Homo-oligomer: A and B are copies of this chain.
Amino acid sequence: MTAMAIAGTNRRERVTLGGRVHTELRELLMSGELAPGQKMSLRNVAEALGTSMTPVREAVARLVAEQSLEVLPNRAVRVPLMTRERFRELTTVRLAVEGYAVEEAARRRTEADLAAMRCFEDAFLAEARSPRPQAERAVRSNKELHFAVYRAAGLPTLVGIIEGLWLKIGPVLNLDLKVSPERLKTGGATEHHRRLVAAVEAGDGCAARSALVDDIKGAASFIESTGRLLDEAGPDLNRHPVGALAPEGETQPERDIATAHLGSR
C-alpha cells in the first residue's frame, strides 16, 4: 500500500510527496496553527499525513534549513521560540525588505496587480468589519493582500525572501491574532491597507513605504505589548513545549484543527 496510490499525485505537474508535506507544514506555520515551542515527531506527522517518514523528513529538513523549524541538541524538532531580540531583528529586516518591495510595486504595478490588491483588501475589510470576525480568514486575506503588492514589484526572488520572513514570524504574528481578534478593529490595519493600496495605485513609492511601515510597526508593537515574547531563552524552556503535534491522552481543540488539516488520507 503505497501512499502514492492514496493521493492522486499522478498529475502532469511534478509534485513530489515531500513537496506536498512541505507546503502543508508551511501553511500550518504561516497561519499560526503550530504554536512556537510546539514539538513535532516525524513519525506522527507522517502518520497524520498518511505517508512514510521519508517525505516528512525531507520537508522538515527544508523547513529547518530556512529556520522555520529548529532541531534541538537533543534532536527534537519544534517550532522555534521567539525571543524579543529575534522578533525585533525580523521586524527590522521586514521593514527594509518589504518596504523596498512596496516602493518597487508602486513603480511597476500593472492594472491586473491593482485589481488583485483591491480584491484581497475588500476581503480583509469585510472580515474586519464583520460582527464575528474569523481570524483564519482575516489572516489569509491579510497575507494575500500583502503578497499581491509584493508580487507587483516584479521580483520573484524578493517575494521568495519575504515568504521566508513571514514563515519565520508567522507563528507568533498569527497566533496572537487568533487569541485576540479585536485587534482587527482597533489595530488600524484596515487604514494602513487603504493607504498602501492607494499609494501603490498612485505610484507614490514613498507613501506606500510609509503605509507599510506603519502596518508592520503597528502589528509589532502590539505583539510586544502582549508580553508573550521571551526576554531570553532560558534553558529549561526547551523542556516545556506547548504541546505535541500528536495529541496524547486528551486532545485540545486547536490541536484538533491542526491534526485535521494535516490528515489528508
Cβ 8 A contact of A14, one of B62, B67, B75: B75
A87-95, A175-183, A207-215: which lies at the B interface? A87-95
CA distance A100 to B161 in the complex (A): 15
Asked if A93 contacts B161 (CB within 8 A), the reply is yes
Picked from B58, B61, B93, B164, the residue with its CB within 8 Å of the CB of A155 is: B93
Does A71 make an interface contact (CB < 8 A)? yes
Asked if A65 and B67 make an inter-chain contact with CB atoms under 8 angstroms apart, the answer reads no
| Minimum CB distance partner of A73 in chain B | B14
Q: What's the Cα separation between A161 and B57 when bound, in Å?
A: 23
B168–A157 CB distance below 8 A:
yes
Q: A206 at interface (Cβ–Cβ under 8 A)?
A: no
Chain B residues with Cβ below 8 Å from A67 are: 160
* In the complex, residue of chain B having the shortest beta-carbon distance to the beta carbon of A101: B96
Q: Complex Cα distance A90/B158, Å?
A: 9
A247 within 8 A of B: no
When distances are taken between beta carbons in the complex, the residues of chain B under 8 Å from A66 are 65-66
Contacts A14-B75, A93-B158, A161-B164 aside, 19 further interface pairs with beta carbons under 8 A come to A14-B71, A14-B73, A18-B61, A57-B58, A58-B61, A61-B61, A61-B62, A62-B62, A62-B65, A66-B66, A67-B160, A89-B155, A89-B156, A90-B157, A96-B97, A96-B100, A97-B97, A157-B168, A161-B161
Chain A to chain B contacts (Cβ below 8 Å), 9 pairs = A57-B58, A61-B62, A89-B157, A92-B155, A96-B100, A96-B158, A97-B97, A97-B100, A161-B161
Q: Within 8 Å of chain B (Cβ to Cβ): is A165? A: yes
Give bound CA distance, A30 to B160, whole Å: 20
Q: How far is the CA of A61 from the CA of B193 in the complex (A)?
A: 36
* Binary CB contact string for chain A from 53 to 80 against chain B (1 if under 8 A, 0 otherwise): 0000110011001110001010100000
A209 CB to closest chain B CB (Å) equals 12
Within 8 A of B (CB), among A10-57: 14, 18, 22, 57
**Which chain B residue shows the least CB distance to A58?**
B61
CA distance A157 to B165 in the complex (A): 9
Which residue of chain B has the shortest Cβ distance to A57 in the bound complex? B58
